[in-house]
């Protein structure tokens, strides 16, 4: 489309001028994901790539906690978020004071924090995880009980997989909490033979209806490996749009739950971000050191 072409051309030129890379989460719209991004992936891949890039500027086409994680791994680089209001219901559900209270109530129990959290919360915790490595991270601790925050459903899903007891926090993803088991059963009736893939931020009774549960990258791999012809992705709906571009042979059944935070990032806001070099993500150094340790421990697992 013409209005996309103009912004895409401008963004590609600005990237060169600024020595910038654009990291795009799997929930970004196709014109961003396929049109201007250099690195694409789930939260784990974006955190890893942020650690490796040679560019001097990183633009996060994703939400604020992802930009903070990229900054943590690159304190000497400029990290930009095209819209500072791109938050996350999980990150907003808990404060550093809440974590200190949980630790006081459960002394000696390790705290595993989902990356969908603020740096202040990460700084209070032992190790981070993403949906792509949650099981490995939790099992690596070798203990019967952990505090797993802030996603209650992710914690319950990992408890079901591992048998490790979870002390949880009532945070939810506003996109994934809306799916219901009845809805999944109805899609199966309407689309016989459909392969159902669910994100572990969904309630456990929804995950129980799925053929597979995993991170956004895990779902993409599953589609590739399984050769499934008809797929229902129980997650944010831009995922299906992006995958449909890569896999025209697969029919995607499309419920549409959009993340309003992810959708704040647009070609126009990315272009403006590169033009003005804003908004720059900053992290107080004393918080950064402790939060980085929790992320680095996760990356080492
Ligand atoms: P992943 O891409 O790591 O699975 O995360 C999903 C998500 O909701 C990120 O906001
Ligand atoms: Fe947060 Fe859910 Fe949006 Fe991801 S999809 S950014 S977890 S609200």
Percent of the chain with pLDDT over 90: 95
Distance in Å, CA 116 to ligand 2 centroid = 8
Q: What is the pLDDT of residues 110-159, one digit of tens each?
A: 999 999 999 999 999 999 999 999 999 999 999 999 999 999 999 999 99
Task: Please work out whether the CB of residue 63 comes within 6 Å of at least one atom of ligand 2.
Answer: yes
Q: Is 115 annotated as a binding residue?
A: yes
The helix (run of H) or strand (run of E) holding residue 188 is helix 181-190
Cis before residue 34, ω within 30 degrees of 0? no
Q: Evaluate whether 67 touches 271 at the Cβ level (below 8 Å).
A: no
ipTM over 0.90: yes
Q: Which tens digits make up the pLDDT trace of 60-105?
A: 999 999 999 999 999 999 999 999 999 999 999 999 999 999 999 9
Secondary structure letter of residue 93 according to DSSP: G
Atom 3 of ligand 2, nearest CA residue: 259
Mention every residue, 6+ apart, whose C-beta is less than 8 A from residue 265.
Answer: 28, 32, 61, 62, 82, 83, 86
Which pTM value belongs to this model?
0.97
Residue of 117, 199, 220, 262 to test ligand 1 pocket, by largest number of atoms within 8 Å of CB: 199
What's the gap in Å between 290 CA and the centre of ligand 2? Answer: 24
Query: What pLDDT shows up at residue 119?
Result: 98
In the chain, where does the domain assigned CATH 3.40.50.10800 lie? 2-86+263-283, 91-173, 177-258
Q: Which CATH number fits domain 177-258: 3.30.1370.10, 3.40.50.10800, 3.90.180.10, 3.30.1780.10?
A: 3.40.50.10800
106 labelled as ligand-binding?
A: no
273 is in an annotated binding site: no
β-bridge mates for residue 280, sequence order: 80
Confidence (pLDDT) at 254: 86
What number of CA atoms fall less than 13 Å from residue 48's CA on the CB side?
15
Q: Would you say 237 is a known binding-site residue? A: no
The residues lining ligand 1, judged by C-beta closer than 6 Å to any ligand atom, are: 26, 42-44, 116, 130-132, 173, 201, 215-216
DSSP code for 267 = H
Instruction: Judge: domain 2-86+263-283, CATH 3.40.50.10800.
Output: yes
The alpha carbon of residue 206 and the mean position of all alpha carbons in its chain are separated, in whole angstroms, by 19
Which atom of ligand 2 lies at the shortest distance from residue 176's CA? 2
Q: Please state the atom number of ligand 2 nearest to the C-alpha of residue 236.
A: 5
The pLDDT, as a whole number, for residue 255 is: 82
Q: Name the token pair of 247.
A: 């896999």
The reported pLDDT for the residue numbered 52 is 87
Tell me if 59 sits within 8 A of 22, measured CB to CB: yes
* Whether pLDDT at 193 is above 80: yes
CA 150 to CA 136: how far, in whole Å? 18
- CATH number of 91-173, picked from 3.40.640.10, 1.20.1260.10, 3.40.50.970, 3.40.50.10800: 3.40.50.10800
Which of 41-45, 88-92, 136-140, 204-208 shows the lowest per-residue confidence on average (mean pLDDT)? 41-45
Per-residue confidence (pLDDT) for residue 51, from 0 to 100:
82
| 279 preceded by a cis bond (ω within 30 of 0) | yes
Average pLDDT on 273-300 reads: 97
């Amino acid at each position: 489309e013409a209005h996309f072409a103009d912004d895409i051309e401008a963004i590609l030129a600005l990237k060169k001028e600024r020595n910038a890379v654009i990291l795009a989460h799997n929930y970004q719209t196709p014109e961003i994901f396929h049109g201007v991004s250099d690195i694409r992936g789930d939260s784990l891949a974006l955190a890893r790539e942020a650690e490796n890039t040679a560019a001097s500027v990183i633009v996060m086409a994703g939400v604020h906690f992802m930009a903070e994680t990229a900054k943590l791994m690159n304190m000497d680089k400029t990290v930009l978020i095209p819209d500072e209001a791109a938050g996350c219901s999980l990150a907003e559900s808990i404060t550093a004071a809440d974590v200190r209270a949980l630790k006081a109530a459960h002394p000696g129990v390790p705290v595993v924090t989902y990356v969908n959290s603020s740096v202040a919360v990460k700084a209070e915790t032992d190790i981070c995880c993403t949906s792509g490595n949650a099981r490995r991270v939790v099992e690596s601790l070798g203990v019967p009980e952990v505090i797993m925050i802030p996603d209650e459903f992710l914690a319950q899903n990992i408890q079901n997989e591992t048998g490790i007891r979870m002390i949880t926090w009532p945070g939810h993803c506003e996109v994934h909490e809306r799916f219901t088991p009845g809805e999944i059963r109805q899609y199966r009736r309407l689309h016989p033979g459909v392969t159902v893939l669910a994100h572990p931020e969904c309630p456990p009774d929804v995950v129980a209806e799925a053929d597979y549960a995993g991170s956004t990258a895990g779902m993409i791999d599953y589609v590739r490996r399984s050769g499934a012809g008809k797929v229902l992705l129980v997650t944010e709906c831009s995922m299906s749009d992006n995958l449909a571009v890569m896999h025209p042979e697969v029919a995607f059944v499309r419920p549409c739950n959009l993340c309003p935070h992810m959708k704040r990032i647009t070609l126009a806001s990315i272009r403006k971000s590169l033009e003005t070099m804003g908004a720059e993500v900053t992290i107080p150094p004393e918080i950064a050191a402790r939060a980085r340790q929790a992320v680095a421990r996760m990356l080492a697992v």
